[in-house]
Amino acid sequence: MALDYLEFDYSEDEEGTGTWDAMASVKAERVPALAAEIEAVLRWASQKFPGRQGAVEEGFDWDYDLQAQDDDGEPLGTRFDKTEGKLTLQVSATGRTTVNLSLSGSAHFGDALRERFDIED
């Protein structure tokens, strides 16, 4: 599955933990498509690595940070329910909705992520 809205930048720390950071900013009519893409990534990770989400430095395979804001920098609500595999993303009442998604993971997680979503480093 290729991603249309999320374009990841990759970095790696000295322990070999990979981090993929993406930011997308869209108008209200594009929020459902962006949310679907984020939901697909997080659902895949939750299903492919069940029970393995948490701090990588504590031995887990992957973790994520998801934040959203409006044009004024005011936070917008985001919530991913991994049991249901559903993302709730508040849409900006005015202007654009900007979302930041950071994934971190082990080498095994990174290989699977790259393959599943056609991500290049």
What confidence tens digit (pLDDT) does each residue in 12-60 have?
A: 998 889 999 999 999 999 999 999 999 999 999 999 999 999 999 899 9
- φ, ψ of residue 93 to 5 degrees: the values are -70, -30
Q: Are 42 and 83 in contact (CB under 8 A)?
A: no
Both structure tokens of 70: 């409006």
SS3 52: coil
pLDDT in tens, 56-98: 989 999 999 999 999 999 999 999 999 999 999 999 998 999 9
Q: Are 24 and 98 in contact (CB under 8 A)?
A: yes
- Please give the torsion angle defined by the CA atoms of residues 9, 13, 16 and 18, in that order, rounded to the nearest 10 degrees: -20
Provide the whole-model pTM.
0.93
